[in-house]
Amino acid sequence: MVGAGTDRTKISRGGGPAIVLVRPQLAVNIGMCARAMANFGLSDLRLVSPREGWPRTGSLRKGAYAAAAGAVHLLEGAKLYDTLAEAVADLNFVWATTARERGQGKRVELPGNAMPESAARMAAGERHGIMFGPERTGLENDEVATADAIITFPVNPAYASLNLAQAVLLTGYEWNRAATGETLPFQAPDYSPRANREMVLSFFDYLEGELDKNGFFRPPGKAPVMRRNLRNIFHRMEMTEQDVRTLRGALVRLVEGPRKEAKTRKKAKKAEGPEA
Amino acid sequence: MVGAGTDRTKISRGGGPAIVLVRPQLAVNIGMCARAMANFGLSDLRLVSPREGWPRTGSLRKGAYAAAAGAVHLLEGAKLYDTLAEAVADLNFVWATTARERGQGKRVELPGNAMPESAARMAAGERHGIMFGPERTGLENDEVATADAIITFPVNPAYASLNLAQAVLLTGYEWNRAATGETLPFQAPDYSPRANREMVLSFFDYLEGELDKNGFFRPPGKAPVMRRNLRNIFHRMEMTEQDVRTLRGALVRLVEGPRKEAKTRKKAKKAEGPEA
């Protein structure tokens, strides 16, 4: 995981379109799909005739639950169907995901266009679902025919194979974007307000004064341009008050030389003799 | 894989920002990252001090290569570094991916905003990279400090843990969107042009004529509205020429009853006697 950002005190976003896994081959992949769904607030998982069954016990169950990495509520709530027709019976609109053209004359959309459409129609009360085929072969043509339209992923044509959980992940990502407006989970903190002009100009005055004493601005005719260029470098930083204090402190140290107290301390240490 | 859409005759898109995996724990996850990169045309994979080393032989190598599922060129071309500083030395801009706020006052962006920025600057000649931390812990604060800005993922706050390859996948997905304008890998084929008005109206005339003969339009005063409603159902289909031919053929069959030839064939079959 990239950072341990899961916070169980926060309310889980739920809902979204049904994720219909058609004849998934491996229980462990069902677990990975559940995890991807949880990442983006999808909660309606439907399984059509999983090849390994949908084990309630044993090592297959264990593998699926380990892969779900905490999204156990999704596996517990997964609905099991014998046929695709039963799995999509209550849905008003069904997308089929495919990586190839199927010659069925159906509308084809990228997930980034499909999910806003679903979000709008679902907000108006419709139920939508997205079908994903078995890992190795994808959906059969008859299964694609069940759908209203097709979702395909904008992958590198030379390397188009997405695994099942990745296809679910990208769909969930776009669902989340469409349904929630995609807000940042956290913001850069305003740990210090941006410095006002007075503070910034006072810093420049000190810096330029010291540089001037040391003959930095040469030839004198170039001084105005040199000052302006120097100021613009600092302006680009959009300095906070803390930034100005830190930089000014560093500058003072360079100008004034070693701290008095530091010297005292060093001497005191010397008097103590070498370290034990 | 969702459909077997990989086509090795197509030119692989390459390039994109460097993917810098910092102290990745498992070789198999490096393989899965390579696969995710290949899906979206990223090709610059950099490994900083992988915990399992970067094995050239043995079962770890086998696991990584199996997980890469064909993106072997990326693993073969992966660059290995002892330190993060070496890995990012040539880059002009570095993103750190984190799931938590790090109190460093850095700019935070979603991948959907970060990748267009990188695409624009890289088009102008800059080199960009994206750092990803170890699977369990994410990047350390000192590693985040190396970056210019932060990317975070818009995940469900109650379930925020993305696995390493998924984080790479989402970044690659947004890179691809930003860099290529995200085109559909295939279009719904124009297997038949949309029917022109003459063809559609002729179909309506035939349909309504037959319905009228059979007394469908009752009471007669409602006939105009009933016709209009019926036509609108068909208009919503945006029928192709082939659609009109198919529907007209089906209609003829319903109106005229069983096909003559079919009967003849059936009789002929009967004459042959029961099947062997």
The whole-angstrom distance between residue A272's C-alpha and the CA centroid of its chain comes to 55
Question: What is the pLDDT, as a whole number, of residue A265?
Answer: 53
Which of the two residues, A191 and B141, has the higher pLDDT score?
A: B141
ipTM: 0.72
Count how many residues are written for chain B: 276
Superfamily for the B18-180 domain: SPOUT methyltransferase, trefoil knot domain (3.40.1280.10)
Residues of A in contact with B186 (CB under 8 A): 100-101, 108, 152
Three-state SS for A48?
A: strand
The answer to whether residue B106 neighbours chain A at the CB level (below 8 Å) is yes
Closest partner CB to B152 (pick from A110, A137, A185): A185
Cα separation, B82 vs B91, whole angstroms: 17
Residues of B in contact with A152 (CB under 8 A): 184-186
Domain ranges of chain B: 18-180, 197-271
Residues of B in contact with A186 (CB under 8 A): 100-101, 108, 152
Best CA proximity match to B155, nearest among B172, B164, B173, B167: B167
Q: What is the mean pLDDT of chain B?
A: 84
Closest partner CB to A157 (pick from B7, B105, B108): B7
**B83-137 residue pLDDT tens:** 999 999 999 999 999 988 787 778 899 999 999 999 999 988 889 999 999 988 9
Percent of chain A surpassing pLDDT 70: 87
Q: Determine the distance in angstroms separating the CA of A247 from the nearest CA of chain B, rounded to an integer.
A: 16
Is the confidence at residue A275, as pLDDT, over 70? no
Strand partners, B81: B48
Q: Determine the distance in angstroms separating the CA of A276 from the nearest CA of chain B, rounded to an integer.
A: 32
Q: Which residue of B has its CA nearest to A160?
A: B6
Question: What is the pLDDT, as a whole number, of residue A55?
Answer: 76
**B193-243 residue pLDDT tens:** 888 888 889 999 999 999 998 889 989 898 998 888 888 888 888 888 888
Residue A101 to residue B35, Cβ atoms within 8 A: no
Percent of chain B surpassing pLDDT 90: 44
Cα separation, A30 vs A62, whole angstroms: 12
Q: Determine the distance in angstroms separating the CA of A60 from the nearest CA of chain B, rounded to an integer.
A: 20
Is the confidence at residue A80, as pLDDT, over 50? yes
Please report the residues numbered 8 through 37 in chain A whose beta carbons come closer than 8 angstroms to any beta carbon of chain B.
Answer: 8, 10-13, 35-36
Is the confidence at residue B5, as pLDDT, over 50? no
Is the confidence at residue B164, as pLDDT, over 90? yes
Which of the two residues, A197 and A3, has the higher pLDDT score?
A: A197
Cα separation, B17 vs B93, whole angstroms: 10
Instruction: Extract the tokens encoding A154.
Output: 């904008």
Does residue B220 have a cis peptide bond before it, meaning omega lies within 30 degrees of 0? Answer: no
Residue whose pair of structure tokens reads 């983006």 in the numeric block: A40
Please report the residues numbered 135 through 164 in chain B whose beta carbons come closer than 8 angstroms to any beta carbon of chain A.
Answer: 135-139, 150, 152-164
Burial label for B12, CB within 10 Å (0-12, 13-18, 19+), is middle
In this prediction, residue B261 has a pLDDT band, given cuts at 50, 70 and 90, of low
The answer to whether residue A167 neighbours chain B at the CB level (below 8 Å) is yes
Q: What is the mean pLDDT of chain A?
A: 84
Is the confidence at residue A154, as pLDDT, over 80? yes
The whole-angstrom distance between residue A218's C-alpha and the CA centroid of its chain comes to 50
Burial label for A258, CB within 10 Å (0-12, 13-18, 19+), is exposed
In this prediction, residue B3 has a pLDDT band, given cuts at 50, 70 and 90, of very low
Question: What is the pLDDT, as a whole number, of residue A276?
Answer: 36
Closest partner CB to A156 (pick from B39, B112, B156): B39
Q: Which residue of B has its CA nearest to A169?
A: B166
Q: Determine the distance in angstroms separating the CA of B196 from the nearest CA of chain A, rounded to an integer.
A: 18
The answer to whether residue A101 neighbours chain B at the CB level (below 8 Å) is yes
Residue A39 to residue B70, Cβ atoms within 8 A: no
Is the confidence at residue B153, as pLDDT, over 70? yes
Average pLDDT over residues A202-216: 91
Q: How far apart are the first and last CA of chain B?
A: 44
Which of the two residues, B112 and A159, has the higher pLDDT score?
A: B112
